[in-house]
Structure 1
């Protein structure tokens, strides 16, 4: 690595700024060439937030603006023989988040006004769709070149109101009106590209734009956003070595930590392993592993939708589903799956060709822990500092193999939580345990099937597998009898770890653990 400190483009989404500022750029220009030379001139790409969609859109902007000098040393330099400058209309809709009807119209007015200063406007053009159509036609006439339209985060104005049908309808109609000229202006258009997080149906947003090709799950574009394992090895080897020094581990150890925390995304199958670029680059810059992507945005709409669909924390991952069930238009959702998938909280892990079903799960440790931290306040009130401290100490108890101390700590903690309506059923405590044990970074599962019934909870650490039976207003002896009667440990005999039986009784009056029993299997 050079003596000069490596610059990482954290939060920089402008291609020209990255290239002119000598920031690290993972070369995606081969994909840009493929996109712009395919049969389709209208494309849509869905990826989670902070996954590089805006940078990709900016790269397209620079390419269509004929800025050859920015692509020196990249794949595009060898691929493109004819550099043509086209008029580009680039709309970033992320500035229209949290907007009501009037604010959204004002945002569109501002965006259109900027280009009207270049290409002019007719008095007759009043509504956003009329003004966009006028812009496209005049840009074509004045330059003699077909027009490129780039719309980044097209769904940003709609995301926050996805759970409010009446407001969603109003804002969706405004956006549909704005996008409507794209089909009618086809003779004047060279290329149209839209990005977003969610997949609102073509009918509801893009009106008659039925020639829009959705490349989100196309295998040739699987690695178009994010950073692949190959790209880390080929373009970031020195960065990994530098991080390893700061973490005081080997380069292989640093790679393992990066993989555990930020890898695991797949947007089709088969697909290379994709890393979250925001988290990966932030870890490189700060020299430590942290929860960067999840910490960069509170998923309030996600929490509301989980409530709406009655989804428990333990139900978020490990699902088998047909593609139409999770890559469905957001406003036609019959389950939380499409929102979880499109937002990046679950991803594709495997594919069963025979059944045509995808295995979906939480991508990595960062997302799992971030999700559970967001959900925990809903179960234990807003005792954030106390909760964080308790989880830290609990982690040490479990790491030391001291389940007795861990349950003592949980008993004390739960007894400080204000009583609430939903503490009168066993499932409430099961979910609290699931969230807290997930925060420790261990494998945890609920309602695990065995030949003779279901185990309430299984917790697997590096040294021990805990088989746990939970009861409400009974006693720990009764819970232990059930474990023995149904011989739950037998199901896990081949796991290669010592098995410990844990029986726990919850006291609904005191809203905490009443008693417990721990025995080796």
Structure 2
């Protein structure tokens, strides 16, 4: 049987063309979506191990970490919330745990030739609310119990500092390696008790005794690192731990947390182009807007400008410019500080401040500038070398606009002609 060949009509050609175009567009769209969907932004990811194993982007800070662990033993770093402090602590923990496989392709893999597993004691004070006398003791007790389940207990160790001391010694004796101590958000109990002098003194005394163990057990300790938002001065929490190197205004390690302009372009170039496409603006305009909104943090004189990593990553994820840092909430301690005291921020920032004033959180009742600066709401704009004076200002538009919207109403009426702007 011979089948007669059907003649191809214009309708057939039109349908074929339409089908081809539609299919091509779908393939192109899927390819475009797949290209960018592979990029996983580590928003809220505080575990280095999870970040690496789950394929999130990691901005490689391990060259700095290598220098850190090979040039000193005891460090302190103050940075604003959501600047990557917890991830830094977790990265240090993975390194000292000898988890070499997690550092594949990173600078640490190239630099480190001898990997050693150390006993790591990680205290995270960021997980609790501190509003009662026992709040701090409870979190310390829970953490100490976890460590004691590994290294054992001694009945005569009846308070947190004695238990901590015994754990450090036994960890060394049982492993043959000196101990690594990592403390995340060491100051949260102190910050949450601002305004309650009795409770804050209680927390101060507990923490002072606890941290002083690191000095008495020095021979058993390989490395110690503490992070926080603020630095409660040498006369309080750290008075017995006077061997800490403060990295908060250090030149070499100023970019340990936060993101530089170079890092943004190295790791997120595709994201920049996608934002431009989403808004219908140029690549250069995207870069300018990001710099105006999220850049501008400086933590030393003539320092490197740093982006707020939390806001930047959220912008890349949503493809929209927003006030992400402020929308996560304003710290209650700062709200209370501004509400209880009649301070005018423009007056505070118009006059220069010394380096000591920037770090003297203890004097917040008379001058809250140190708390506001260390919390990330102000940053260093200028430095007068002759008089050793810093001038402060808002780091960027996100902070300036957020301050007006969320914080100014707590301590001063907003006048119609009030304008607060950031400067680069």
What is the TM-score with the length of structure 2 in the denominator? 0.88
Matches within 5 A, 1:106-505: 106-315=138-347, 317-331=349-363, 334-375=366-407, 377-378=409-410, 431-435=414-418, 437-438=419-420
Contact 1:162 1:331 (C-alpha < 8 Å) held by counterparts = no
Shift in Å at residue 375 of structure 1? 3.3
Contact 2:357 2:369 (C-alpha < 8 Å) held by counterparts = yes
Shift in Å at residue 178 of structure 1? 1.8
SS of residue paired to 1:244: helix
Q: Tell me how far apart the structure 2 counterparts of residues 201 and 434 of structure 1 sit (CA, whole Å).
A: 38
Aligned match for 1:48, one of 75, 80, 84: 80
Contact 1:223 1:271 (C-alpha < 8 Å) held by counterparts = no
Contact 1:314 1:434 (C-alpha < 8 Å) held by counterparts = no
What is the CA deviation profile of residues 16-41 of structure 1, one whole-angstrom value per residue up to 9, with x for unaligned ones? 11111110111111111111011x31
What is the CA deviation profile of residues 461-517 of structure 1, one whole-angstrom value per residue up to 9, with x for unaligned ones? xxxxxxxxxxxxxxxxxxxxxxxxxxxxxxxxxxxxxxxxxxxxxxxxxxxxxxxxx
Q: Tell me how far apart the structure 2 counterparts of residues 347 and 161 of structure 1 sit (CA, whole Å).
A: 24
Structure 1 112/345 Cα, relative in aligned 2: closer, same or farther at 3 Å?
A: same
What is the CA deviation profile of residues 147-178 of structure 1, one whole-angstrom value per residue up to 9, with x for unaligned ones? 00000000011112123222210111111222
What is the CA deviation profile of residues 188-217 of structure 1, one whole-angstrom value per residue up to 9, with x for unaligned ones? 000000000111013311342111111110
Shift in Å at residue 263 of structure 1? 0.5
Contact 1:313 1:372 (C-alpha < 8 Å) held by counterparts = no
* Worse-superposed segment, 159-168 or 370-379: 370-379
Contact 2:361 2:368 (C-alpha < 8 Å) held by counterparts = no
Shift in Å at residue 136 of structure 1? 0.5
Is 1:6 aligned to residue 39 of structure 2?
A: yes
Shift in Å at residue 434 of structure 1? 4.8
Q: Tell me how far apart the structure 2 counterparts of residues 123 and 331 of structure 1 sit (CA, whole Å).
A: 41
Structure 2 stretches of 5 or more lacking a match? 1-31
SS of residue paired to 1:148: strand
Q: Tell me how far apart the structure 1 counterparts of residues 195 and 64 of structure 2 sit (CA, whole Å).
A: 35
Shift in Å at residue 317 of structure 1? 4.3
Aligned match for 1:87, one of 119, 123, 128: 119
Q: Which has the higher contact order (CA 8 A, sep 6+)?
A: 2
Structure 1 196/136 Cα, relative in aligned 2: closer, same or farther at 3 Å?
A: same
Contact 1:198 1:330 (C-alpha < 8 Å) held by counterparts = no
Contact 1:201 1:331 (C-alpha < 8 Å) held by counterparts = no
Contact 2:129 2:135 (C-alpha < 8 Å) held by counterparts = no
Q: Corresponding residue for 2:135? A: 103
When the two structures are aligned, how many residues end up with a matched partner? 390
Contact 1:309 1:336 (C-alpha < 8 Å) held by counterparts = no
SS of residue paired to 2:83: coil
* Worse-superposed segment, 165-174 or 370-379: 370-379
Q: Tell me how far apart the structure 2 counterparts of residues 218 and 442 of structure 1 sit (CA, whole Å).
A: 24
Is 1:17 aligned to residue 68 of structure 2?
A: no
Q: Tell me how far apart the structure 2 counterparts of residues 330 and 278 of structure 1 sit (CA, whole Å).
A: 28
Q: Tell me how far apart the structure 2 counterparts of residues 318 and 233 of structure 1 sit (CA, whole Å).
A: 34
Q: Corresponding residue for 1:34? A: 67
Q: Tell me how far apart the structure 1 counterparts of residues 230 and 286 of structure 2 sit (CA, whole Å).
A: 33
Structure 1 354/331 Cα, relative in aligned 2: closer, same or farther at 3 Å?
A: closer
Q: Tell me how far apart the structure 1 counterparts of residues 422 and 171 of structure 2 sit (CA, whole Å).
A: 57
Structure 1 376/322 Cα, relative in aligned 2: closer, same or farther at 3 Å?
A: closer
Aligned match for 2:102, one of 56, 70, 79: 70
Q: Tell me how far apart the structure 2 counterparts of residues 377 and 334 of structure 1 sit (CA, whole Å).
A: 20
Contact 2:361 2:371 (C-alpha < 8 Å) held by counterparts = no
